[in-house]
Amino acid sequence: MLDTMFSLARRVYVPVTASTTTSEQNEMDRDSFRKAGKYGYGFIYFAVILLVITTLIRLCNSYSDRVRIIMHRENNPQPFQGSHGSSTPDEYELPSAGTDASSMHFFPAPQTMTTYKPPRSLFQRLFHFNKVIAFFRWIFYRPMPTVRIGKKQIVFPSLAVISIVLAAFIFVTLYCFVPQPFYYWSIVLGSPPLAIRAGMLAVSMIPWIVALATKANFITMATGLGPERLNGLHRWLSYICLFLCIIHVVPFYVTPIWTDNALVNYRNWIPPGIYYYGNGWAAMAPLLVLCVHSLPFLRHWMYELFVFVHIPVSWVFVAMMFWHSKNYLKSWGYLWTTVVIWILTYFIRLFYLNWSNPFRVSSFLIGEEAAVTLLPQNAVKVTIPTKMRWRAGQYVYLRMPSIGFVQSHPFTIASLCSDDFPSAYGPKYRDMTLIFRPFQGFTRKVVDKALEHGPMKTYTAFIEGPYGGMQRDMAAFDDVVFFAGGSGITAIASQLLDLIKRIRDGKAVTKSIKVVWALKSPETMEWFQEELRICRDNAPANLMYCHFFLTGIGMQQADQADRDLVQEKIYGMLQGIDKRNSTYIRQEAGGDLEREKELRRENEDGLGALPGAPPAAHVIGNRQYYQPGISNVSPGLSNSPGFDFGFGSSTPTSLKQPTPRYASFQPSHRRDNWKTDYFRPDVSKMLNEFSQTFGRRACIFVCGPPGLRVEVASTVAKLQMRVMTDSSKDEIFLHAENYNH
């Protein structure tokens, strides 16, 4: 064994003998092979420094968010004062009869918010920490523009990822090419130093590349960055590793071992019938397959194949690296570290899988039951009652064996996990809702199965997660702005509900919420009409603003009747009230088009009580409406002794006769906090207008197609100048969610 290892060592290190001349010995001492292990440490230092900096920033932000919320609660022990309706604003005047009763259990009665502005910390005042962070965000929030080639769209990673990758690339390149020499006089003196430097750098990157690829990893635990965000670094560092491997290979062909009688040093090592560099190419081939197959256009084209073969091929690559490196310069230490990372992450993942977690007895080895519902606009909703808990904005991997046995795909959780919303399965269960549009492969099979078996069919679901989520606490921001494009609303719905609930519970400092949703058809709103109703009816006074942009209707060319039909459908979903339908309006107009347009505009702008009609008792300044078949008094409370709806011991005579449903038109009652337009939003203009009223800290959350993310990120980057120049602004934070989830 020792003789074999000695013969192997001669491949990269030629020992000094009596025949070695002084000049040859001096040449071999230049960048000596015995000291070349330091090049592997180089990338370790680079990665650890970056990890520590990112972790410290995360801890600082988390501490700041927590302190703001705690101080807010201490200064607002009773953040909402008053009775149920004493402060409900005009934009929430219409009670939603269609809203599920659980919303009243989920949200307490609306009350008045008090204003509190947390002071700036001493650290922030002395060291201008926020201005430094704003400066870096002014640089790194700027997105790379998308490139269109025909119908294809090339999306580049964020500038922050590009900067990290570029820094790593420059570092390893300089670390390879700055030290001298590149080659010895002859291959007889030993392996080329350039090849050794590149090889050690490449092998030292492997543990980090694998850690960045795993779902449950220590980097995510330390930095708070989800695996979906680290995946970009994983892919680009793999390309750098391939680049280093090429640098490692080329010098051995520039000075091949079969020249200068150097082959004698390798004969005992190379088995008969094997190519001289065979084990090197055995390690190079799987890395080349992994990198080429991960190119975006190939990955999207053959995604199912990519998911199926990527991990097994990576195992082959590491195994071949063991064979190739032969523990030169203690290189196996990096490879065994890689194996340990794999084992630990796979062990931790057992507790993320609902069917392999022994503490989830109800789903252990059998999974969960799932129901599939088809939604308007070719969307699919998968509902899974589960004991799993998750935070708003997280995602899970879904596998349904009866549809795709080995296929697992990520989907954002659109529902809120709350003790106030138990599942019908039992008080310990929560309904996990996944909403997505079908394309090809697994998602298309889900639709086909749903059409084949109908809505009553249940499926076995294996879920893994939850992963990801926003690394900052949204409740610590004074202002929150959501931008959604199409199905990007799925990443926002649970965040919105969670934030409003925390505001109502006095656990958030947020004073303003704005939602901008660009969608092609109003039918898409039906995906989340119940959530929108809850938000509208239960958000505190003057806190929430929603603006919907219907971009696919072509309302510029449509007539007023078509516009009114769309507006009627939207208001019907959001208000939950049976307003005048089109048939009745046409009958009342009697064929007069001008009169019909007037009635529709009147119906859209608002309804006011007739002169002399009293307002609703539970809302000051509200209007009372009569809805046929719907009582103004809850059946459960109609006979309750002592319950007078705020009017005293008896109901006023004026309320015994219901107010006519069609009341006088009052333009001043138009609810501007819920608007609909029929064109594409000017994101930059809207954000600049919103920023005029931002408090100390603002959060911008965007999920949508690349064009929307680019526009939002560009504008937020420019807004960082306000943080740097205005002492009343501490932070404008951006969170961009991947549109694919």
pLDDT, one tens digit per residue, over 677-696 is: 888 899 999 999 999 999 99
Asked whether residue 620 is assigned to any structural domain, the reply reads: no
Task: Give the tokens for residue 164.
Answer: 């990290």
> Could you tell me if 445 and 496 lie in one domain?
no
Using CA atoms, how far apart are residues 503 and 483, in angstroms rounded to an integer? 20
Check whether 115 has a pLDDT greater than 60.
no
Q: Which of 442, 468, 494 is the last residue of a domain?
A: 468
> Could you tell me if 211 and 246 lie in one domain?
yes
> Could you tell me if 192 and 311 lie in one domain?
yes
> Could you tell me if 304 and 195 lie in one domain?
yes
Query: What is the pLDDT confidence band of residue 19, given thresholds at 50, 70 and 90?
Result: low
Asked whether residue 195 is assigned to any structural domain, the reply reads: yes
The answer to whether 490 touches 531, Cβ cutoff 8 Å, is no
Check whether 109 has a pLDDT greater than 90.
no
> Could you tell me if 428 and 512 lie in one domain?
no
Check whether 292 has a pLDDT greater than 70.
yes
Q: Which of 301, 320, 349 is the last residue of a domain?
A: 349
Asked whether residue 360 is assigned to any structural domain, the reply reads: no
Using CA atoms, how far apart are residues 666 and 496, in angstroms rounded to an integer? 31
Task: Give the tokens for residue 267.
Answer: 């004969």
Give the torsion through C-alpha atoms of 280, 286, 287, 290, to 10 deg: 170
Asked whether residue 64 is assigned to any structural domain, the reply reads: no
Average of per-residue pLDDT across 187-198: 82
| Domain containing residue 708: CATH number | 3.40.50.80
Query: What is the pLDDT confidence band of residue 122, given thresholds at 50, 70 and 90?
Result: low
> Could you tell me if 598 and 665 lie in one domain?
yes
| Domain containing residue 438: CATH number | 2.40.30.10
pLDDT in tens, 51-60: 999 999 999 8
Asked whether residue 288 is assigned to any structural domain, the reply reads: yes
Per mean pLDDT, which range of 18-22, 288-292, 397-401, 680-684 is the poorest? 18-22
Average of per-residue pLDDT across 493-518: 90
Task: Give the tokens for residue 127.
Answer: 């060291």
The pTM score is 0.74
Q: Which of 315, 349, 383 is the last residue of a domain?
A: 349
Check whether 596 has a pLDDT greater than 90.
no
Using CA atoms, how far apart are residues 225 and 470, in angstroms rounded to an integer? 8
Using CA atoms, how far apart are residues 531 and 546, in angstroms rounded to an integer? 13
The answer to whether 192 touches 183, Cβ cutoff 8 Å, is yes
Task: Give the tokens for residue 622.
Answer: 């509200």
> Could you tell me if 188 and 303 lie in one domain?
yes
Most confident of 510-514, 575-579, 705-709: 510-514
Asked whether residue 268 is assigned to any structural domain, the reply reads: yes
- Look at residue 35 in the predicted model and tell me its pLDDT: 80
Pick the closest to residue 520 from 567, 496, 554, 568 (CA basis): 554
pLDDT in tens, 306-334: 888 999 999 999 999 998 888 888 889 99
Check whether 224 has a pLDDT greater than 50.
yes
Average of per-residue pLDDT across 147-158: 76
The answer to whether 510 touches 117, Cβ cutoff 8 Å, is no
Give the residue with greater pLDDT, 661 vs 202.
202
Asked whether residue 586 is assigned to any structural domain, the reply reads: yes
Q: Which residue has the tokens 């219901």?
A: 658
Give the residue with greater pLDDT, 117 vs 539.
539
Q: Which residue has the tokens 């900067």?
A: 163
Task: Give the tokens for residue 311.
Answer: 């991990």
Print burial letters for 369-402: b (CB count within 10 Å at least 16), e (below 16): ebbbeebebebbbbbbbbbbebebbbbbbbbbee
Question: Could you list the residue range(s) of the whole structural domain that residue 218 is in?
Answer: 2-54+176-349
**Cβ neighbourhood burial of 332 (10 Å; 0-12, 13-18, 19+):** middle
Check whether 7 has a pLDDT greater than 50.
no
Asked whether residue 152 is assigned to any structural domain, the reply reads: no
> Could you tell me if 534 and 574 lie in one domain?
yes
CA 715 vs. chain centroid, Å, equals 19
Using CA atoms, how far apart are residues 700 and 694, in angstroms rounded to an integer? 11
Average of per-residue pLDDT across 533-559: 74
- Look at residue 78 in the predicted model and tell me its pLDDT: 59
Instruction: Say which residues have a Cβ less than 8 Å from residue 386's Cβ, sequence separation at least 6.
Output: 354, 363, 368, 429, 430, 432, 463
Q: Assess whether the previous peptide bond of 227 is cis (omega < 30° from 0).
A: no
Q: Assess whether the previous peptide bond of 611 is cis (omega < 30° from 0).
A: no
> Could you tell me if 385 and 526 lie in one domain?
no
Using CA atoms, how far apart are residues 687 and 547, in angstroms rounded to an integer? 13
Query: What is the pLDDT confidence band of residue 121, given thresholds at 50, 70 and 90?
Result: low
- Look at residue 146 in the predicted model and tell me its pLDDT: 74
> Could you tell me if 388 and 249 lie in one domain?
no
> Could you tell me if 252 and 317 lie in one domain?
yes
What is the SS3 assignment for 282? helix
Percent of the chain with pLDDT over 70: 70
pLDDT in tens, 65-88: 999 999 888 887 655 543 333 333
Check whether 627 has a pLDDT greater than 60.
no
- Number of compact structural domains in the chain: 3
Check whether 340 has a pLDDT greater than 70.
yes
pLDDT in tens, 377-435: 788 999 999 989 999 889 999 999 988 877 888 999 988 888 877 888 888 898 999 99
Mean pLDDT, all residues of the chain: 76
> Could you tell me if 504 and 526 lie in one domain?
yes
Check whether 605 has a pLDDT greater than 80.
no
Instruction: Say which residues have a Cβ less than 8 Å from residue 592's Cβ, sequence separation at least 6.
Output: none
